[in-house]
Amino acid sequence: MGSRDKENWFQTTVVSLESPLLNYTYKILSRLAPSEEVVQESFFRLWKQEFPGNFEHYPKAWLYKVCRNLALDILKKEKRMDLEGSLDEILFSPCVSETLLESSLIMQEVVKLTVQQQEVLVLKFKDELSYKEIAELTGLSVSHVGVLLHEALGALREVILADLKRLEPETRL
């Protein structure tokens, strides 16, 4: 990749991933300034990194992993490992209605999930990462990511179905 190509690729990557990375990092740190520093440092590392092959197709998972690791390092230094954070946008999916997203019943169920289940839900449905990208980011196997998502969605299924049935008459109007 030539210097100009790398600059264009990098600029496109920053524009498309800066906001999602900042949101993700903010969920870990719950503070804007350190979250911005983490994202900036991640992009700096990306620029300096030499990747074999055709890396321009794979920066997303790598950047999420760098952001996660840097954010966790900050928390370790501060001795506060609170990863639960805000999950009010966790189920951002086209198949789920806006009313359903606002349902306190679902959020009550989400907070009952394990931290790992909550994290993979956010990464899959809000940040739209693939199973492979989530696995690379978290250090889990692809199949373990699938199991965590399956278990989490299974736990939420009853509440979601009950809410959809409740909403069904409204949608027929």
pLDDT tens profile 57-96: 667 888 999 999 999 888 887 754 333 343 434 444 444 4
pLDDT at 39: 94
Looking at residue 169, what is its pLDDT? 55
Q: Which distant-in-sequence residues (6+ apart) come within 8 Å of 173 by Cβ? A: none
> Among candidates 3, 125, 123, 149, which has minimal Cα distance to 60?
123
The helix-helix angle for 59-78 and 32-48 (nearest 10°) equals 130
Confidence (pTM) = 0.54
- Structure confidence at residue 104 as a pLDDT band (50, 70, 90): low
| Domains in the chain with CATH codes | 1-83 (1.10.1740), 85-173 (1.10.10.10)
In the block, which residue shows the tokens 């199949």?
143
81 contact partners, CB below 8 Å, separation of at least 6: 72, 75
Q: Exposed/middle/buried for 120, CB within 10 Å: 0-12, 13-18, 19+?
A: buried
